[in-house]
Amino acid sequence: MKKSTILLAALLAFGTAFAKDQSVAYIDMSYILKNLPQYEQANEQLTMLSKRWQKEIDAAQQDARVMATNYQTEQIFLSETMRAQREQEIVAKEQEVLELKRKYFGQDGELYKKREALIKPIQDEIYNAIQDLANEKRIDVVKDRSSDPALIYMSSKLDVSDLVLRKLGAK
């Protein structure tokens, strides 16, 4: 029993000593991104593409609605064969709309691919700047305060966001 207590005390002392030797800094990723013109440009491109694709989808949905409305009003005048054909056309149009949504906004859709192509290089550049800064300033841990809900208070002396922006060449 006494050995386990001594061992536990030694581990706690070692852990505390190790923790005191670590230097910690914080960044605010949303602040950094907001102050990078290339990120804003990438976001504008993504927004424009998204709006264009949404208009295409909206137009296809409107076509499907018009086809369905026309079918409802003309249904009584159509033969069984014509009704079946029109119903298939409406279903095909609705499937086209679903396919467009999947193509543009799906899990591996065009928007995801474009975001990956535009944003990932910026994120990599930020990560490299943070890594360089951490090596220069001998910082062991860099945390993002914008994504840490448990962070209640942080001294502004620990915020290195502006230094990261300078490393990236942003004003």
What is the pTM assigned to this prediction?
A: 0.70
Alpha helices in the chain (DSSP H): 2-20, 29-34, 37-74, 80-105, 110-137, 161-167
* Interval 66-116: pLDDT, tens: 999 999 999 999 999 999 999 999 999 999 999 999 999 999 999 999 999
* Interval 120-159: pLDDT, tens: 999 999 999 999 999 998 989 888 887 776 666 666 777 7
Q: How many CB atoms lie within 10 A of CB 66?
A: 12
Cα 87 to Cα 62, 78, 135: the distances in Å are 16, 11, 66
Q: What are phi and psi of 170, to 5 degrees?
A: -85, 155
* Interval 7-46: pLDDT, tens: 455 555 555 545 556 788 889 899 999 999 999 999 999 9
Residues 158/24, Cβ–Cβ less than 8 Å? yes
